[in-house]
Amino acid sequence: MPYKRLCSTKNILTVNRQFPGPTLYVHKGDTIIVDVYNKAKYNITIHWHGVKQPRYPWSDGPEYITQCPIQPGAKFSQKVIFSTEEGTLWWHAHSDWSRVTVHGAIVIYPKKGLSYPFPKPYAEVPIILGEWWKKPIMEVYHEMLKTGGDPNVSDAYTINGQPGDLYPCSKQDTFKLRVEQGKRYLLRIINAAMQDLLFFSIANHSLTVVATDASYTKPLTRDIITISPGQTIDVLLKANQNPDHYYMAARVYSSALDVAYDNTTTTAVVEYSGKYAPTSPTPLPQLPYYNDTSASVNFTGSLRSLESDEHPIDVPKNITNHFIFTISVNSFPCPNNSCAGPNGTRLAASVNNISFTNPSIDILQAYYYGINGVFGTQLPSFPPYIFNFTADDLPLDLETPKRGTEVKVLKYNSTVELVFQGTNLEAGTDHPMHLHGYSFYVVGWGLGNFDIKKDPLNYNLVDPPLQNTIAVPKNGWAAIRFRADNP
């Protein structure tokens, strides 16, 4: 179909409170052009999170990976190609931490003439969960780089840009969702927080999950959902309670020991229409305790693909590439132990003991034009050091990774099984992982160390969820499969 020039997105990185940007509305299979004007004093790129961009990665967004950043004062027209996605995704900046303030929802309707595989909702509402700092976010980011320690935790979480009634000075601006008794509503929930998993619930109401990451699921009814940063979850809300006001609320799931976290709760209000005296205080949902790993993984592990005639799945069975990647929190030494990380070190992260270093130009351009010296191809397929990855006490010499810009090159149409293995180096924690250009099947997960002989016997190869983002559980693992068919 002809391209649609949908909108112009002007980013402003100096705002403090996170007001979500414009929502993009498209149909499955559309192609759009978005003009991005960089009016800020920082570099910027825009990423279409979960959009596969088939055979057109040039405007996917991650700086120095698929494109160079858009410089201050410059404009860039990005072509966004929608293919198999259907449901909810989101767009966000992909330079440093600028996505905190530069992001918005993407609503992808079925092809014209087709309908949802669930009862048609009375209304649809994007619910964007985010964070807010009292300082401009780039100050927080640069302070983190300067000190080498953890960034300052956010001062509030937000629902559609507003902290809610439980914070001072924000009650008058709390987001309100007005509903009619007996009606059904589709909530398109997006976790735009930087790195925090969030518990989400609505007092006295159940939520029925019908999609995640723009892929339909078997209906899953829960009182509480867990949503990873970058993940989207579509839920049906039935307004089946007595007319009243009810809080929807979200707060963090934080699994790392002795690491600061934002312990506040953000709220919005579900208001039934009609004349009545609201209950005081407004009912608040009972969310899990902040480090309740069971509540987190049990929800995530219950998701299943819809797997219907109209929405079939194709889980790779014959795997040509087997990879195991350890994902770790690490540290580098600082002169005179002068940094703010553990024991005066600088915090880092690694995949198979390699901490990524930004190249001078984007990797895709270097690959396409055959420019040498920009990246290497020595990313290990398996952990270079084998040890008890999730042990309570690990040798200090394992905490310092190598630095590098390494790439894993795959043959076109090869099939991949990739196991992410969390470690307990520095601090065991959950690891949200996102794969650009693909959705993948989450065929297995578990706590502890992956057992290459036993764990694959319990894989779900029948109806695993199709996602673009997965939270690898604290000191655990997750196995994904995909076909490498999108350059």
Per-residue pLDDT tens, the chain, 487 aa: give them.
344 444 444 333 333 334 578 999 999 999 999 999 999 888 999 999 999 999 999 999 999 999 889 999 999 999 999 999 999 999 999 988 999 989 999 999 999 999 999 999 999 999 999 999 999 999 999 999 999 999 999 999 999 999 999 998 888 899 999 999 999 999 999 999 999 999 999 999 999 999 999 999 999 999 999 999 999 999 999 999 999 999 999 999 998 888 889 999 999 999 999 999 999 999 999 999 999 999 999 999 999 999 999 999 999 999 999 999 999 999 999 999 999 999 999 999 999 999 999 998 999 999 999 999 999 999 999 999 999 999 999 998 899 999 999 999 999 999 999 999 999 999 899 999 999 999 999 999 999 999 999 999 999 999 999 999 999 999 999 999 999 999 8
The pLDDT of residue 257 is 82
CA distances from 107 to 90, 126, 161, 363, 376 (A): 8, 9, 18, 30, 38
Question: Within a 10 A sphere around the Cβ of 73, how many other Cβ atoms?
Answer: 10
Q: Are residues 288 and 162 in the same domain?
A: yes
Range of the domain at 233: 3-301
Q: Are residues 359 and 244 in the same domain?
A: no
CA distances from 259 to 149, 166, 236, 341 (A): 11, 23, 35, 11
Q: Residue 214: inside a domain, yes or no?
A: yes
Q: Are residues 221 and 159 in the same domain?
A: yes
Query: Scanning the structure block, which residue is given the tokens 């795959």?
Result: 410
Q: Residue 316: inside a domain, yes or no?
A: no
The pLDDT of residue 40 is 87
Q: Residue 59: inside a domain, yes or no?
A: yes
Q: Residue 309: inside a domain, yes or no?
A: no
- For residue 455, give the nearest of 469, 443, 441 by alpha carbon: 443
Q: Which two tokens stand for residue 338?
A: 């002068």
- For residue 436, give the nearest of 487, 378, 377 by alpha carbon: 487
Q: Are residues 203 and 254 in the same domain?
A: yes
281: preceding bond cis by omega (within 30 degrees): yes
Q: Residue 53: inside a domain, yes or no?
A: yes
pTM of the full predicted structure? 0.94
Q: Are residues 471 and 340 in the same domain?
A: yes
The pLDDT of residue 9 is 41
Instruction: State which of 240, 271, 301 marks the end of a domain.
Output: 301
Q: Which two tokens stand for residue 240?
A: 């089946």
Residue 366: half-sphere exposure toward Cβ, Cα within 13 Å:
19
Q: Are residues 270 and 369 in the same domain?
A: no
CA distances from 18 to 367, 383, 437, 468 (A): 36, 39, 27, 24
| CA gap 403, 353 in Å, rounded | 8
Q: Is 436 within 8 Å of 60 (Cβ atoms)?
A: yes
Question: Within a 10 A sphere around the Cβ of 62, how many other Cβ atoms?
Answer: 18
Q: Residue 200: inside a domain, yes or no?
A: yes
Q: Which two tokens stand for residue 307?
A: 């797997």
Q: Are residues 401 and 281 in the same domain?
A: no
CATH number at residue 432: 2.60.40.420
Q: Residue 311: inside a domain, yes or no?
A: no
- Strand 354-356 and strand 402-404: pairing? parallel
Q: Are residues 297 and 337 in the same domain?
A: no
The pLDDT of residue 19 is 54
Q: Are residues 342 and 228 in the same domain?
A: no
Q: Are residues 29 and 137 in the same domain?
A: yes
| CA gap 125, 148 in Å, rounded | 39
Q: Is 199 within 8 Å of 225 (Cβ atoms)?
A: yes
Q: Are residues 325 and 264 in the same domain?
A: no
Instruction: State which of 269, 301, 333 marks the end of a domain.
Output: 301
For 300-328, letters b (16+ CB in 10 Å) and e give: bbebbbbbeeebebebbeeeeeebbbbbb
Instruction: State which of 301, 333, 365 marks the end of a domain.
Output: 301
How many domains does the chain contain in total?
Answer: 2
Q: How far is CA 299 from the centre of its chain?
A: 16
Q: Are residues 255 and 336 in the same domain?
A: no
| CA gap 379, 347 in Å, rounded | 21
Q: Residue 131: inside a domain, yes or no?
A: yes
